């Protein structure tokens, strides 16, 4: 059986050897298997991940060609499906212990390592200062925050989804109560760090489904499913609940409960404990305390709260307004009901989200403060306050609230998505961005259509790219386009990633120009066209496109691409437009004054270099070199920026540039090891 599986896989890989885009998903499709089934079979037969297996197969074929042929390393690298020669050489060296050029000169090891290569790229010299892609990250982050992600991981042993409970009552008005039982089971399990719990939005689409348990488990990438049904009859609650092992479709644990409504909270706690015991997950005393905590002592208030949940989760204006009325009734009956206060704040946040003029800022703050007053350890209370701080742009104040919320509810995907967004767009930290993006993938699998999946892959490609994992970024953005060719941002992102791999500036410039001509209203592409001409020192062409960008900014009053003003100023200066150039340099100086990010040193270095203050510029580069987890674009463009030309003769310039590059790759290696240790990479 093992031989048949491996033989079939190797035959298909051999047929697609030179296709660099032929990866795990393509192999699964060719073998008529689901992706998760392929992952399990490869792990079972080889003890490798699917990515490791494919990469090692390509490397082995490359080794054979080197030993028995006369082709160059460059030719072979493309024949065995590596997108770039440098990446082939790096992987070959890390796998076999020496570069491919030394094959035949030394005795090769016969044993094939099962270790994943550590992706530490050599220092490189390329172009620099970054247009941080805040708009792309923010839009994609918003799309994903609405519930559009899915898992690319092997199925973890301790992973579970709580399916929507069935209302066994003939009275449809009881549905909210049954949904509340499901919500409480989900929420209590989410508090256990040793358990991966799929989000509510991801399981909601299975309400009333005809799909089998194995089908659902495979789609959600979980090992266990919880099914339940219940009804409320007068003052009694009738609940049937069962825990199912997805692999065998067999019950692990099942129980029928008949309890008084007054015992509802004890019942919810007991169900969570029984499920945790059946799966043998570790539940800490602190987690047990959170699970056993009653949200309120007032059952009338709790009933209003349960009625509010369905309209609350609709996220529509009508639904939110209905939920607000019900949450307000809940706090009328229990003025210390922290969860209801928190959800009031969150409801008003969503009502305000798409409003240009915010109406509810103080209301959000007041309700969040009340929630914290009555329960400062409630994740929803902390989320509510974080949303307020985000609304008033006090992003650093939002962070500790979100981190504490995640401590109390390690499976809360909304918190993870907010942290990912903050670290991507507002408090730049590429490592945190990637870590939380990968964590979110494990929890929220709601992207059941090609468009949602496309944006997932785009977001993940951005996170990978910012950390210099270029091949992974390209793989993700290619999948994004294959799922949804009309994705607005993926073609744009892909050009930068291909440049990072191929280092062909002329080609990248041409691709951006071609993309811009398809839609000349897209200013983000226009500035890339101008920027690449600038890096190539084709100042007349750079001026032509920068002038269009400047005109559009002035015409529409847009405060965008402030980090470009120094480049624009230099281009105008080269064209003899001294007065206009001075205006752009003044604007850039103002931008530097307001820049409190980790990139401030890099920004000031550019400013001082142009002002003829090389020692100050070098000092600022030294300051920047001490930062952690800056974007790969810094490494890509630091050697090609004409604004830094005045520094190139400085005796310390080469040293500090090398320090910046070395720091990036050292951080990249640490990050990869950290993510691997957490089971995320």
140-172 tens-digit pLDDT: 544 444 333 333 344 456 889 999 888 887 776
DSSP string covering 178-236, please?
Answer: HHHHHHHHHHHHHT-TTSEE--HHHHHTTTT----HHHHHHHHT-SEEEEEEEEEETTE
Has residue 125 got a pLDDT over 70?
no
Measured between alpha carbons, how far is residue 87 from residues 488, 616, 625 in Å?
29, 37, 26
- Banded pLDDT at 86 (limits 50, 70, 90): low
Structure-derived torsion over alpha carbons of residues 271, 381, 437, 627, reported in degrees to the nearest 10: -140
- Please tell me whether residue 131 adopts helix, strand or coil conformation: coil
SS3 content of the chain, % helix, strand, coil (to 5): 65, 5, 30
CATH 3.40.50.10610 in the chain, residue ranges:
159-292
High-pLDDT (> 70) share of the chain, %: 88
Task: Output the pLDDT for position 459.
Answer: 84
**CATH no., domain 494-675:** 1.25.40
Token couple for 434 = 């990637």
> What does the alpha-carbon distance between residue 455 and residue 439 come to, in Å, rounded to a whole number?
16
Has residue 71 got a pLDDT over 60?
yes
When pLDDT is averaged across residues 196-217 and rounded to a whole number, the result is 84
Q: Which long-range contacts (CB under 8 A, 24 or more apart) does 648-654 make?
A: 650/614, 650/615, 650/618, 652/618, 653/618, 653/621
For domain 299-409, the question of CATH label 3.30.420.40 is answered with no
When pLDDT is averaged across residues 234-242 and rounded to a whole number, the result is 88
> What does the alpha-carbon distance between residue 573 and residue 586 come to, in Å, rounded to a whole number?
13
pLDDT tens digits, one per residue of 33-60: 877 678 778 877 887 777 778 888 888 8
> What does the alpha-carbon distance between residue 523 and residue 529 come to, in Å, rounded to a whole number?
10
> What does the alpha-carbon distance between residue 106 and residue 157 come to, in Å, rounded to a whole number?
43
Token couple for 582 = 């001075």
Global model pTM greater than 0.85: no
In sequence order, the 6+-apart residues with CB closer than 8 A to the CB of 35 are 24, 25, 28, 152
Has residue 2 got a pLDDT over 60?
no
Report helix angle 578-594 to 600-610, nearest 10: 150
Of 149 and 326, which is predicted with more confidence?
A: 326
> What does the alpha-carbon distance between residue 311 and residue 323 come to, in Å, rounded to a whole number?
6
- Banded pLDDT at 577 (limits 50, 70, 90): very high
Report helix angle 430-443 to 450-466, nearest 10: 150
User: Residue 262, Cα to own-chain centre: how many angstroms?
Assistant: 42
> What does the alpha-carbon distance between residue 630 and residue 624 come to, in Å, rounded to a whole number?
9
What is the SS3 assignment for 23-58?
Answer: CHHHHHHHCCCCHHHHHHHHHHHHCCCHHHHHHHHH
> What does the alpha-carbon distance between residue 457 and residue 151 come to, in Å, rounded to a whole number?
10
CB of 227 within 8 A of CB of 162?
no
CB of 173 within 8 A of CB of 259?
no
**CATH no., domain 159-292:** 3.40.50.10610
Task: Output the pLDDT for position 118.
Answer: 31
CATH of 2-102, one of 1.10.10.60, 3.40.50.620, 2.60.40.10, 3.30.1950.10: 1.10.10.60
pLDDT tens digits, one per residue of 421-476: 899 888 989 999 999 988 877 666 444 457 767 887 888 899 999 999 999 999 98
> What does the alpha-carbon distance between residue 441 and residue 675 come to, in Å, rounded to a whole number?
14
Task: Output the pLDDT for position 550.
Answer: 95
In sequence order, the 6+-apart residues with CB closer than 8 A to the CB of 105 are none
CATH 1.10.10.60 in the chain, residue ranges:
2-102
Measured between alpha carbons, how far is residue 115 from residues 66, 94, 337, 395 in Å?
22, 10, 52, 40
Sign of the dihedral defined by the CA atoms of residues 345, 348, 353, 359, in that order: negative
Residue 324 β-bridge partners: none
């Amino acid at each position: 059986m093992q031989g048949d599986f491996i033989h079939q896989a190797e035959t298909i890989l051999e047929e697609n050897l030179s296709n660099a885009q032929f990866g795990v998903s393509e192999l699964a499709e060719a073998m008529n298997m689901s992706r998760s089934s392929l992952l399990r079979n490869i792990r079972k037969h080889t003890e490798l991940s699917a990515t490791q297996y494919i990469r090692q197969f390509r490397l082995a074929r490359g080794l054979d060609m080197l030993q028995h042929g006369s082709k160059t390393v460059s030719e072979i690298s493309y024949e065995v499906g590596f997108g770039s020669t440098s990446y082939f050489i790096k992987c070959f060296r890390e796998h076999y212990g020496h570069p491919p050029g030394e094959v035949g000169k030394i005795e090769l090891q016969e044993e094939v390592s099962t270790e994943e290569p550590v992706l530490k790229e050599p220092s490189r010299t390329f172009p620099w200062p970054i247009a941080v892609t805040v708009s792309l990250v923010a839009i994609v982050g918003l799309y994903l925050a609405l519930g559009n992600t899915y898992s690319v991981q092997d199925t973890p042993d301790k992973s579970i989804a709580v399916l929507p409970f069935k209302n066994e009552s003939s009275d449809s008005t009881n549905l909210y109560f049954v949904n509340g039982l499901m919500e409480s089971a989900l929420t209590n399990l989410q508090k256990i760090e040793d358990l991966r719990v799929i989000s509510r939005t991801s399981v909601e689409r299975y309400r009333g489904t005809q799909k089998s348990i194995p089908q659902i488990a495979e789609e959600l990438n979980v090992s266990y499913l919880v099914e339940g049904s219940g009804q409320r009859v007068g003052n009694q609650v009738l609940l049937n609940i069962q825990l199912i092992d997805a692999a065998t479709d067999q019950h692990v644990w099942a129980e029928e409960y008949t309890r008084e409504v007054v015992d509802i909270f004890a019942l919810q706690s007991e169900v969570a404990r029984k499920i945790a015991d059946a799966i043998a997950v570790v539940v800490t005393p602190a987690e047990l305390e959170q699970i056993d905590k009653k949200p309120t002592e007032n059952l009338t208030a709790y009933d209003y709260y349960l009625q509010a949940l369905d309209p609350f989760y609709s996220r529509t204006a009508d639904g939110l307004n209905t939920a607000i009325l019900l949450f307000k009734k809940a706090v009328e009956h229990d003025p210390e009901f922290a969860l209801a206060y928190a959800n009031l704040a969150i409801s008003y946040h969503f009502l305000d989200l798409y409003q240009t003029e915010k109406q509810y800022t103080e209301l959000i703050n007041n309700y969040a403060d009340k929630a914290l007053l009555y329960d400062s350890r409630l994740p929803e209370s902390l989320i509510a306050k974080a949303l307020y701080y985000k609304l008033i742009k006090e992003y650093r104040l939002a962070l500790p609230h979100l981190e504490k919320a995640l401590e109390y509810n390690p499976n809360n995907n909304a918190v993870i998505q907010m942290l990912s967004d903050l670290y991507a767009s507002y408090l730049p930290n590429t490592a945190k961005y990637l870590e939380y993006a990968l964590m979110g993938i494990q929890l929220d699998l709601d992207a059941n259509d090609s468009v949602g999946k496309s944006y997932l892959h785009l977001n993940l490609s951005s996170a990978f790219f910012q950390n210099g994992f270029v091949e992974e970024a390209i793989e993700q953005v290619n999948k994004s386009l294959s799922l949804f060719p009309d994705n607005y941002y993926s073609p744009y992102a892909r050009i930068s990633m291909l440049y990072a791999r191929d280092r062909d500036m002329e080609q990248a410039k041409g691709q951006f120009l071609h993309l811009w001509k398809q839609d000349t209203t897209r200013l983000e592409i226009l500035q890339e066209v101008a920027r690449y001409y600038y890096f190539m020192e084709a100042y007349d062409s750079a001026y032509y496109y920068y002038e269009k960008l400047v005109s559009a900014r002035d015409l529409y009053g847009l405060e965008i691409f402030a980090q470009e003003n120094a480049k624009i100023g230099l281009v105008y200066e080269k064209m003899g437009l001294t007065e206009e150039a001075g205006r752009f340099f003044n604007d850039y100086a103002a931008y530097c004054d307001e820049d409190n990010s980790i990139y401030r040193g890099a920004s000031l270095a550019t400013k001082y270099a142009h002002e003829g203050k090389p020692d100050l510029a070098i000092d600022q580069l030294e300051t920047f070199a001490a930062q952690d987890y800056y974007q790969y674009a810094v490494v890509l463009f630091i050697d090609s920026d004409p604004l830094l030309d005045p520094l190139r003769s400085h005796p310390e310039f080469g040293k500090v540039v090398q320090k910046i590059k070395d720091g990036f790759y050292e951080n990249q290696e640490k990050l990869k090891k950290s993510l691997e240790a957490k089971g995320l990479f």
